[in-house]
Amino acid sequence: MASLLRSATRVQPTISRAIRTQAPMARRSMASQTPPRNATAAAAQAPMAEAIEQPFFPDEPVGPMIRTAIPGPESKKAIAELDKIFETRSLNMMTNYQNSYGNYIADLDGNVLLDVYAQIASIPVGYSNPSLLLAATSPDMVSALINRPAMGNFPQHDWASILETGMLRVAPPGTDKVFTALAGSDANELAYKAAFMWKRQQQRGSYDADFAAEDISSSMNNQKPGSPDMSILSFKTAFHGRLFGSLSTTRSKPIHKLDIPAFDWPQASFPALKYPLEQHAEENAREEQKCLEEVEHLITTYHNPPAALVVEPIQSEGGDNHASPAFFQGLREVTRKHGVLMIVDEVQTGVGATGKFWAHEHWNLKDAPDMVTFSKKAQTAGYYFGNSELRPNKPYRQFNTWMGDPARALLFRAIIQEIERLNLVQNTAETGEYLYNNLESLGKRYPKEIQNLRGKGQGTFIAWDSPRRDEVLKKAKGVGINIGGSGERAVRLRPMLIFQRKHADILIDGLEKIFKS
- By annotation, the residues acting in catalysis are 239, 345, 376, 401
Strands 463-465 and 451-454 come out as antiparallel
CB 292 within 8 A of CB 330: yes
Ramachandran region of residue 501, left (φ > 0), alpha (ψ -120 to 50) or beta? Answer: alpha
Contacting residues for 38 by C-beta, under 8 A, at least 6 apart: 44, 421, 422, 423
Type of residue found at 386: G
Burial class (CB in 10 A: 0-12, 13-18, 19+), 389: middle
Q: How far is CA 142 from CA 2, 9, 123, 415, in A?
A: 13, 18, 22, 17
Q: How far is CA 20 from CA 65, 155, 246, 425, 510, in A?
A: 11, 46, 45, 27, 19
Residue 306, phi then psi, degrees to nearest 5: -70, 130
User: What is d(CA 153, CA 145) in angstroms, rounded to the nearest whole number?
Assistant: 17
What 8-state DSSP symbol labels residue 378?
G
**Strands across the sheet with 112-115, in order?**
104-106, 112-115, 481-482
Q: How far is CA 2 from CA 8, 9, 137, 141, 386, in A?
A: 10, 11, 9, 14, 41
The closest alpha carbon to 235, from 288, 181, 277, belongs to 288
User: What is d(CA 319, CA 237) in angstroms, rounded to the nearest whole number?
Assistant: 8
Q: How many CA atoms lie within 13 A of 91 on its CB side?
A: 17
Intra-chain end-to-end CA distance of the chain, in Å:
52
User: What is d(CA 380, CA 182) in angstroms, rounded to the nearest whole number?
Assistant: 6
Paired strand residues for 113 = 105
